């Protein structure tokens, strides 16, 4: 009850208190101990490969953008599960073509397929369908190269058009841009890498059934840490703190969620790779209701699988 009062009064103080408790919890201490033990028992002369963070994480973005002339086909499958009541399953699959035309510049165009299975969720109409979801284009530029400096830094913008409201699944025209600033560094060269993202995602939506327009935006931070267990095999975790607002200018806070979960990445033969990530909302809240989570704007659990081939 004390945490709920603090969340409504001051989200920033609540987050500080939550992170302090997390740092002091037995689970965190045990996880930290396991990680330190793993770093100790891995031989210092164990063979490792140079780290490429372009696709290393599931929900976080690295600063690497690939080599000049490199082309890639990438696909992803993302699932979002669980609301306050009923059954809520939302899935999206993407197919992307990526290229690096000049040094430090990465371009990508993506097509998306959406699917919704919504039954008995309070405030949402039942939805059962799969359809073409929309298109997006991603442009990312790296300003600092981690290989020649203390850290890497890149910025990106991904304008998109979608055919459904991403939460309710109702038919709509949704226009948005995902802005990201990504930094990463290697605390232990070629063995441990950490990444930090700043996120801003404004969206404008027009529902087809009613013709009404709405504007919303999401801002937040993401952190990922990965350890190279053996050449081409990484394991670690990611955490995200997201705040959603009514209006594209971050005018009115609508809700917030804190997500955390594991990630695994593996380099495959023939210049292919795969990454698998799972994330659960462990804390949050909305301005409109009392509760330990924000299940209006976000979901209980999210999962993602990414696969790509370079050529």
Cα 53 from chain centroid? Answer: 14
Low-confidence ranges of the chain (pLDDT < 70): 1-47
Same-domain check for residues 35 and 54: no
N-to-C CA span, the chain: 55
Same-domain check for residues 27 and 107: no
Same-domain check for residues 189 and 215: yes
Point out which residues pair with 10 in neighbouring strands: none
Per-residue confidence (pLDDT) for residue 37, from 0 to 100: 40
pLDDT one-digit tens code per residue, 191-241: 999 999 999 999 999 999 899 999 999 999 999 999 999 999 999 999 999
The whole domain housing 14 covers 1-41
Same-domain check for residues 25 and 134: no
Same-domain check for residues 69 and 108: yes
Same-domain check for residues 2 and 137: no
Same-domain check for residues 277 and 210: yes
Outline where DSSP puts E strands in the chain: 71-81, 87-102, 105-119, 127-144, 152-164, 171-188, 192-207, 213-230, 233-246, 252-268, 272-286, 301-310
Same-domain check for residues 29 and 115: no
**Structural domain count, the chain:** 2
Same-domain check for residues 26 and 60: no
Same-domain check for residues 156 and 239: yes
Same-domain check for residues 33 and 71: no
Per-residue confidence (pLDDT) for residue 47, from 0 to 100: 61
Same-domain check for residues 202 and 248: yes
């Amino acid at each position: 009850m004390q945490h709920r009062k603090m969340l409504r009064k001051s989200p920033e103080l609540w987050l500080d208190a939550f992170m302090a408790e997390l740092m002091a919890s037995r689970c965190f201490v045990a996880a930290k101990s396991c990680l330190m033990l793993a770093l100790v028992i891995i031989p210092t002369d164990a063979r490792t490969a140079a780290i490429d963070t372009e696709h290393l994480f599931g929900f976080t973005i690295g600063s690497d953008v690939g080599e000049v002339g490199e082309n890639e086909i990438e696909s992803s499958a993302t699932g979002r599960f669980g609301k306050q009541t009923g059954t809520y399953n939302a899935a999206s699959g993407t197919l992307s073509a990526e290229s690096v035309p000049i040094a430090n510049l990465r371009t990508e165009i993506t097509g998306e397929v959406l699917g919704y299975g919504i039954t008995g969720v309070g405030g949402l109409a039942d939805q059962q369908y799969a359809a073409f979801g929309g298109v997006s284009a991603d442009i990312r530029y790296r300003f600092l190269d981690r290989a020649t400096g203390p850290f890497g830094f890149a910025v990106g913008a991904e304008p998109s058009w979608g055919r459904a409201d991403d939460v309710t699944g109702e038919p709509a025209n949704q226009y948005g841009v995902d802005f990201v600033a990504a930094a990463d560094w290697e605390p232990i060269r070629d063995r441990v890498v950490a990444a930090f993202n700043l996120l801003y995602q404004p969206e404008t939506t027009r529902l087809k059934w009613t013709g009404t327009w709405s504007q919303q935006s999401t801002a937040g931070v993401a952190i990922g840490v990965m350890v190279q267990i053996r050449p081409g095999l990484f394991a670690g975790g990611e955490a995200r703190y997201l705040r959603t607002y009514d209006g594209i200018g971050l005018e009115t806070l609508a809700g917030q969620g804190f997500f955390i979960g594991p990630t695994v990445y593996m380099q495959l033969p023939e210049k292919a790779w795969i990454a698998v990530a799972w994330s659960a909302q462990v804390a949050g809240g909305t301005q409109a209701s009392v509760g330990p989570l924000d299940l209006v704007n976000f979901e209980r659990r999210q999962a993602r699988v990414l696969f790509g081939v370079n050529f």
